[in-house]
């Protein structure tokens, strides 16, 4: 089996039945609490150490990784980055690399005019993987969601007929998304007149254009807004909880072990649950926090993944670490 299966379930990662949530709850949603729209689920313990999946892996292009997502059914990993070239950020041109779980390249696509790639999602359909991304970039960020089948070696423009586009919240921008592969939900991060928010949907509802069947819609925690706010670097969703990632690359103002933090948020209330500094990959050269994701192993262990970019300019590399213990 791939190396990410090397760590089996831990004592707390499957949770003792006496703690109020049994093994079944650790693998997905449990009973819905009264008055809540997003059903209850376990929450990752952000204070525990992180494990390596892989380090120093090359992507198709040599820019910094931005985000990643796991196809839990077809055992695929997709990593988004800006396409090589000085105009890629301004134009919203992305490269998506497919990797195996050892970090070996399996394929790639180019996406022209899509956005910055801060977060992406994936929906398995049979043996195919359908990516969910931002699209129709304005000022380097997407203004709609797009769904399309990953097809190795293909270049898509934002006007391609292969795209199914969605506008769940009209009048919004700064749009990205993340998918929960265990519970088949999608979180869309967006900005409108009230600020930056996170809306939760069933993936099937968004795919079918049923945007009114929203499970939750919360404001981004205040600490991420205004002067002095940390640099936002990605997010992930598992069950009832949203996980936010922030920090900057190593440098004179940010020496090792850096300033990367993870914050968990209750999607039903918008309340911060936990915020922790992470030393994952602290020995990396360059080391910039980039992207989050969730995966469930064949043994049933759910993992919260953190991405870190490393390497020299012109030869940036991808690194993945994970946590596998619940509160």
Q: Give the pLDDT confidence score for residue 23 in this predicted structure.
A: 36
Query: Which of residues 6 and 115 earns the better pLDDT score?
Result: 115
In the beta sheet, which residues pair with residue 79?
A: 68, 97
- Average pLDDT in the 125-154 region? 97
Integer Cα distance of 163 and 130 in angstroms: 10
Lookup result for tokens 């190795």: 152
Report pLDDT digits (tens) over 39-57. 889 999 999 999 999 999 9
Q: Cα–Cα distance between 64 and 236 in angstroms, integer?
A: 19
Q: What is the mean pLDDT of residues 155-166?
A: 98
- Residue 9 CA to residue 29 CA, distance in Å, equals 18
Q: Is 177 left (phi over 0), alpha (psi -120 to 50) or beta?
A: beta
**Residue-wise pLDDT tens digits, 67-106:** 999 999 999 999 999 999 999 999 999 999 999 999 999 9
Question: What average pLDDT score do residues 204-225 get?
Answer: 96
Q: What share of the chain is helix, strand, coil (3-state, %, to 5)?
A: 5, 45, 50
- Would you say 202 and 225 are in contact if contact means Cβ atoms under 8 Å apart? no
H/E stretch holding 123 reads: strand 121-125
Question: What was the pLDDT predicted at 10?
Answer: 42
Mean pLDDT (whole number) for 226-235 = 95
Instruction: Provide the β-strand partners of residue 196.
Output: 191
Percentage above 90 pLDDT, the chain: 87
Given this model, what pLDDT does residue 39 score?
86
Q: What is the pLDDT of residues 10-40, one digit of tens each?
A: 434 433 333 333 333 344 443 333 345 898 8
Structural contact between residues 162 and 148, judged by C-beta atoms closer than 8 angstroms: yes
Report d(CA 119, CA 141) in Å as an integer: 11
Query: Which of 199, 275, 249 lies closest to 43, judged by CA?
Result: 275
pLDDT per residue as tens digits for the range 274-322: 999 999 999 999 999 999 999 999 999 999 999 999 999 999 999 999 9
pLDDT in tens, 111-131: 999 999 999 999 999 999 999
H/E element holding 89? helix 88-91
Domain ranges of the chain: 3-11+36-323
What pLDDT is recorded for position 32? 38
Percent residues over pLDDT 70 in the chain: 89
Cα 46 to chain centroid distance, Å, stands at 16
Q: Is the pLDDT of residue 150 over 70?
A: yes
Q: Which alpha helices (H) appear in 15-80, and where do they start and end?
A: 23-26
> Is residue 163 over pLDDT 80?
yes
Full-prediction pTM beyond 0.85? yes
pLDDT score of 294: 98
What CATH class is the domain 3-11+36-323?
mainly beta
When pLDDT is averaged across residues 130-143 and rounded to a whole number, the result is 97
């Amino acid at each position: 089996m791939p190396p990410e299966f090397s760590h089996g379930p831990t004592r707390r990662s499957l949770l003792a039945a006496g703690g109020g949530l049994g093994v079944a709850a650790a693998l997905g949603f449990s009973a819905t609490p009264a008055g809540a729209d997003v059903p209850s689920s376990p929450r990752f313990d952000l204070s525990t150490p992180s494990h390596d999946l892989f380090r120093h892996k090359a992507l198709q292009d040599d820019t910094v990784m931005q985000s990643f997502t796991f196809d839990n059914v077809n055992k695929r990993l997709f990593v988004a980055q800006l396409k090589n070239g000085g105009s890629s950020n301004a134009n919203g041109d992305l490269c998506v690399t497919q990797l195996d779980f050892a970090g070996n390249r399996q394929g790639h696509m180019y996406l022209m005019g899509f956005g910055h790639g801060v977060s992406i999602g994936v929906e398995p359909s049979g043996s195919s993987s359908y990516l969910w991304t931002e699209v129709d970039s304005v000022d380097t960020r997407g203004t709609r969601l797009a769904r399309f089948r990953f097809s190795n070696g293909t270049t898509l423009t934002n006007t391609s007929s292969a795209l199914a586009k969605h506008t769940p919240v009209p009048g919004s921008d700064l749009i990205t998304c993340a998918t929960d592969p265990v519970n088949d939900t999608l979180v869309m991060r967006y900005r409108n007149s009230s600020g930056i928010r996170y809306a939760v949907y069933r993936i099937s509802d968004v795919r079918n254009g049923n945007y009114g069947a929203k499970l939750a819609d919360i404001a981004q925690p205040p600490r991420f807004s205004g002067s002095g706010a940390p640099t936002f670097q990605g997010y992930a969703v598992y069950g009832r909880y949203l996980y936010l990632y922030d920090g900057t690359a190593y440098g004179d103002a940010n020496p090792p072990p850096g300033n990367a933090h993870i914050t968990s948020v209750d999607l039903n209330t918008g309340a911060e649950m936990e915020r922790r500094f992470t030393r994952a990959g602290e020995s990396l050269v360059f080391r910039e926090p980039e992207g989050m994701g969730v995966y469930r192993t064949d043994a049933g262990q759910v993992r919260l993944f953190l991405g870190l970019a490393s390497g020299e300019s012109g030869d940036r590399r991808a690194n993945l670490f994970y946590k596998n213990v619940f509160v």
